[in-house]
Amino acid sequence: MKESNQTSDVDRVSSSSGRRKFLKFAGAAGLATSLAGCGGSDTNTTTTTDGSNGGGSGGQDTTTSDNPDDISGVNFEYWDVHHSQSEAARQSVQGLVEEFESGTGANLRVNYDSVGNSAGSKWINAFQRGDYPNIITGFSHIDGKYMDGGWIKPFSEYKDNFSQETLDGIEWILPVIEHASRMYDEGIMGIPFGFEPKNPFIARIDHFEEAGLDPEEDFPPKNYEHLIEVATTLQEDGPGEYGFQIWGTASDWLEVSNPMAIALGGTDGAFLNEAADDTNIDNDTWVQNIKNWSEIYTKHGLSSGGTVNANDETAVALMRQGELSMTQVAPANHPSFMEQARDMMMDGTLQWGPMYNEPSGQRGTFLLATMAITRKPEQTSQEEWAPKERAAVQFVEKLLSKDFQRSLQQNYGYLPVRDDVWDDASDQVEGEDSHHFSESLFTMAEEIDVAWSFHPKQRPAMVSPTPHMQKVLQGDLTPEQACKDAAEEFRNTIL
């Protein structure tokens, strides 16, 4: 891993300007309101007993063809975490695998595992034993430890096996991935098949109306001050108990605070600095941001009494029951909203709205939903590994196929990474004219230039401040002291 390697703002802005066509079908940037950690459950639903596969072997291959594109009879393995976003996501993965096997004759063994096992020690232990699959999926803020361990194959070593159409479709996001991978000499290793702009608002529009607010003018909030004003009116004059919920648990405290930090200070609101060699958590932007974020609860009382231990998995129930009027959650929650509050989504009672961009001009950050092809374990022969790798490349391209990309918003809550399906992407989202999910994400995507990085310490940089921020919510620390303590802990014990 590089000590540091800065990428210019010009590189990042070029990727943003290339996204302008992303919105050409959506009309004005603001929502016409006529009228849902990342990351899924940590419950392990793996199909294997110990997360292992004997060095990715998955059994002996039976193929004897000399055609390099023929993978019939090849046995290979894939570890997936994205299925855990929703039942729709799991069914989508299962359908894709069945379709791939039927079309190629290959045999793909899938380990339906959890984000917790990917982020924790289970997968790492298997990789350290050389006991891992041919493909993994994950997220940019988790994947770095696998790259740092030397287990992930650089994109440059297999991208020429993709069709030109596929490469053209993902070209726009390459500068974003390069910036997120700036700490590695090998360049891009993990590539996204989808991404989340983090994080949009979701609100009970009927609560706005009952509180005397105008949804077309007051949703989504235009800036932090407007957010406090609207949420206060919702709580005081509307039917809900809480005007705006923030979350306090380890993976969720940042669902609101990080978008707010980016909107406040641009890249100064990222968790890692531009050189990717230090945390930003104690800079002026973050200190002011934690003050703003915590005061939603401590000063304004707009968030529930259980905020310190609240997680965004409760958002659907709270909003469906009418206790909560507005919050911010990850787009990956959209399928759950559609499953558990379908009627409200379909009639526009629940609506999404983009994160505000004042004063920095940035609406948040990208979470990259990634996939990666692994390097050959030492104990596995090249003869055995080569056909599996060919099969892995073909399956990765299947994840980038137009049909699968078009299904991402509905089934996963992710935006498609291929820009050649954007024009008709919202047509695949059921109820879009009512809940505005797709339009909200498109608006945000136009004004986001950076993603959570692939640095192996990215996730610790995000999670380790949690107890310090909880103490702010409990009134035991000032924002300044909490940011200072979090930065010292990161530098002394993590970095």
DSSP annotation of 2: -
The stretch 346-360 carries a mean pLDDT of 98
For the cut 70, the answer to whether the pLDDT of residue 39 exceeds it is no
CB 479 within 8 A of CB 282: no
The stretch 324-337 carries a mean pLDDT of 94
CATH of domain 14-35+37-200+365-456: 3.40.190.10
| 429-462: burial string, b at 16+ Cβ within 10 Å, e else | bebbebbbbbbbbbbbbbbbbbbbbbbbbbbbbb
Residues 6+ apart with CB under 8 A from 274: 6, 7, 267
pLDDT category, 41, cuts 50, 70, 90? very low
Specify the range with the lowest mean pLDDT, choosing from 19-28, 137-146, 229-238. 19-28
Residues 6+ apart with CB under 8 A from 422: 21, 22, 25, 416, 442
Looking at every residue in the chain, the average pLDDT score rounds to: 88
Token pair for 341: 């509050």
H/E segment holding residue 100: helix 87-104
H/E segment holding residue 326: strand 326-328
Residues 137-165: pLDDT tens digits? Answer: 999 999 999 999 999 999 999 999 999 99
Residues 6+ apart with CB under 8 A from 196: 38, 330, 331, 332, 366, 367, 369, 413, 414, 415, 441
Peptide bond preceding 311: is omega within 30 degrees of 0, i.e. cis?
A: no
pLDDT category, 68, cuts 50, 70, 90? low
Angle 51-465-203 from CA coordinates, rounded to 5°: 85
For the cut 80, the answer to whether the pLDDT of residue 325 exceeds it is yes
pLDDT category, 2, cuts 50, 70, 90? low
pLDDT category, 29, cuts 50, 70, 90? very low
What is the domain partition of the chain in residue ranges?
A: 14-35+37-200+365-456, 201-328+464-494
The stretch 189-213 carries a mean pLDDT of 97
Residues 398-431: pLDDT tens digits? Answer: 999 999 999 998 888 899 999 999 888 888 899 9
Angle 112-118-122 from CA coordinates, rounded to 5°: 95
Residues 373-407: pLDDT tens digits? Answer: 999 999 999 999 999 999 999 999 999 999 999 99
Total Cβ atoms within 10 A of residue 423 = 12
The stretch 446-457 carries a mean pLDDT of 92
**pLDDT for 346:** 98
Instruction: Write down the CATH superfamily of domain 201-328+464-494.
Output: Periplasmic binding protein-like II (3.40.190.10)
